[in-house]
Amino acid sequence: MRFPSAILCFFILAMNATPVVSSHAQSPADVRDAAEVRHWLDELNEAFVANNLDAAKALYSPNFIVAFDVPGPLQYVGKDTYMALWKAILAKRKGPARWEWNDVHISTSGDMAVIACLFRTISSNDQGVEVEGPWARYTSVLRKQDGKWLGIHDHVSFPSEAGKALMDLKP
């Protein structure tokens, strides 16, 4: 089963990787990789803004492992299952929407990268008024394949207390 090895890889990468925001010197390759990964995150937002499922699909590996997202089920195993969630989310939109990122941390090590940040959805309601959604946590693991960074794992969650999601926290 590939999932446990991906989790192990994530923790090894997280403990040994060079963060983008740091006070120590980074190699040119680290700086380049971090910029490419940040570009991947911007492309993901562009796909969401454009309501473009094909653009989103292109950012994920054919070997996508699993996603943990807020809407059930407990996990989305494989790329096709995760893209079905994307399709459902995009189909429900009634107007413009975008993601706002905050406190973005990117770590890279060789052909692996981790993004950890806060985000929220900003969308328009039926009257065209902009609505800011609650802040959530986002983590994505990427692997560089054939020179391109592709997502292999996503995790979206809200903090909780006593089994209740805390939707009013701010960064």
What mean pLDDT is predicted for residues 132-145? 97
Position of tokens 């995790």?
Answer: 155
At 75, give phi and psi (nearest 5°). -150, 155
Q: Which residues touch 23 (CB under 8 Å, ≥6 apart)?
A: none
What CATH architecture is 2-19+27-159? Roll (3.10)
More confident residue, 144 or 95: 144
More confident residue, 66 or 169: 66
pTM of the full structure: 0.82
What mean pLDDT is predicted for residues 12-38? 65
